[in-house]
Amino acid sequence: MYICKVKLEEAIKSNKFKNSVQKAGLNVLYTAWWLKTMSSKELKSFDLTHEQYNVLRILKGKHPEKMCVKDIASRMIEKSSNVPRIIDRLESKNLIERGQGEVDGRQTVMALTKNGVTVLENATEALNSIWENAISISEEDANDLNSLLEKLRIKE
Amino acid sequence: MYICKVKLEEAIKSNKFKNSVQKAGLNVLYTAWWLKTMSSKELKSFDLTHEQYNVLRILKGKHPEKMCVKDIASRMIEKSSNVPRIIDRLESKNLIERGQGEVDGRQTVMALTKNGVTVLENATEALNSIWENAISISEEDANDLNSLLEKLRIKE
DNA sequence: CTCAAATATATGTATGTACATATAAAATTA
DNA sequence: TAATTTTATATGTACATACATATATTTGAG
């Protein structure tokens, strides 16, 4: 499917909104879908899904330290992600190495492999590049957008 | 999982962003997850998923006219939704009635049942109510937010 | 110290997405 | 009109989400 850059009204073929707040909610949902789809298409060439990429990036943040499942989960954008299954796939692709926690035997701890670091770097470069090309918003507007999204979620 | 109203930095335990544009992208993704999760929790009491609700609302737009799968798909927020499977579930719950297209025999056409109309009305009332309570943004700010999201997606 | 409660992770199931392919009907073309 | 192409929908598979439950380890109350 071609990801058109169209106004919300065209995208969902409707201009009947209860109010601007409802429209903003739908606009956020649509924009998120647009961003995810665009990113996923790029990540396909690295044999990564958006979520697998997210886990790799989180691991990079502490590399070469190991992280446990819970620490990763708490940093995921989508909080209900099922981290154990995502890391299953990353391990089978030799992008991470995992073992049992030494201090806490309940934990599964893991870190990026050398290969994982390389794949992540390449994927990040590609992703940064398409975000820069596809997202047409200034730093100033992006700051305003961030403020408004926080306003939406958080009562002052 | 409790859906906290927290700043992005707390939600993903990171304040290392490449720039404000990248942060805005992540903020959109997180806010969309927040909205969807909040809505889904509410829809659970109507035995509906967010996507099933979206299809019902689309059908409402033409009710009592019938719509075909393609027409519905073109109005979905998430364009890659697999509409045939969603309508399978709506039909088995007697919320929609479907048949073969009379003009075009390839089409599957469908419309809300009486029950579907009722469930949709109740679900919509509940959903509007929690959106009003949970989304803390003024109409003015919502208008700005809509403009900025369009700016993000569409090159001027 | 022992046992109950809490915690970290894994797993099962229903639903949905993303994408490839299959099937049947309509439209087009030769 | 027969054959080909296009279109509308369905289906299969891998991955992910949402949520419930299971298992193992650690913590903490007594």
Express each pLDDT in A29-56 by its tens digit: 999 999 999 999 999 999 999 999 999 9
Q: Rounded to whole angstroms, how far apart are CA atoms B16 and A17?
A: 36
**Sheet containing strand B96-100, strands side by side:** B67-68, B108-112, B96-100
Q: Rounded to whole angstroms, how far apart are CA atoms A100 and A98?
A: 7
For B68, phi and psi rounded to 5 degrees? -95, 165
Quote the pLDDT of residue B3.
53
Instruction: Say what the alpha-carbon torsion angle A9, A10, A16, A20 is, to the nearest 10 degrees.
Output: 0
Nearest chain A residue to B39, by CA: A25
Contact present, A141 and B148 (Cβ < 8 Å): yes
pLDDT tens across the length of chain B (156 residues): 345 578 999 999 998 899 999 999 999 999 999 999 999 999 999 999 999 999 999 999 999 999 999 999 999 999 999 999 999 999 999 999 999 999 999 999 999 999 999 999 999 999 999 999 999 899 999 999 999 999 999 976
Copy the structure tokens of residue B125: 């009332």
Taking residues A65-78, report their average pLDDT.
97
Contact present, B139 and A21 (Cβ < 8 Å): yes
pTM: 0.94
Distances (CA, A) of B149 to A23, B37, B142: 11, 21, 10
Task: Give the contacts of B68 (CB within 8 A, at least 6 positions apart).
Answer: B101, B104, B107, B108, B109, B110
Contact present, B120 and B60 (Cβ < 8 Å): yes
Quote the pLDDT of residue A1.
36
Quote the pLDDT of residue A3.
53
Q: Which residue has the tokens 């989180």?
A: A58
Quote the pLDDT of residue B64.
93
Residue contact A29–B35, C-beta within 8 A: yes
pLDDT in tens, A118-149: 999 999 999 999 999 999 899 999 999 999 99
Quote the pLDDT of residue B29.
97
Q: Which residue has the tokens 């939600």?
A: B11
Q: Rounded to whole angstroms, how far apart are CA atoms A21 and A4?
A: 24
Nearest chain B residue to A156, by CA: B136
Helix (H, G, I), strand (E, B) or coil at A96: strand
Closest protein CA to C1' of nucleotide D15, residue: A49
Query: Which A residues 63-122 have CB within 7 Å of strand C?
Result: 68-70, 73, 82-85, 87, 101, 104, 106-109
HEC string of chain B equals: CCCCCCCHHHHCCCCCCCCHHHHHHHHHHHHHHHHHHHHHHHHHHHCCCHHHHHHHHHHHCCCCCCEEHHHHHCCCCCCCCCHHHHHHHHHHCCCEEEEECCCCCCCEEEEECHHHHHHHHHHHHHHHHHHHHHCCCCHHHHHHHHHHHHHHHCCC
CA geometry: angle B54, B12, A7, nearest 5 deg:
40
Contacts of B55 in chain A (CB under 8 A): none
Q: Which nucleotides of D are covered by protein (CB under 7 A)?
A: 7-12, 15-19, 24-27
Residue A7 DSSP code: -
Which of A38, A77, A41 shows the shortest CA–CA distance to A57? A77
Q: Rounded to whole angstroms, how far apart are CA atoms B80 and B83?
A: 9
Task: Give the contacts of B65 (CB within 8 A, at least 6 positions apart).
Answer: B111
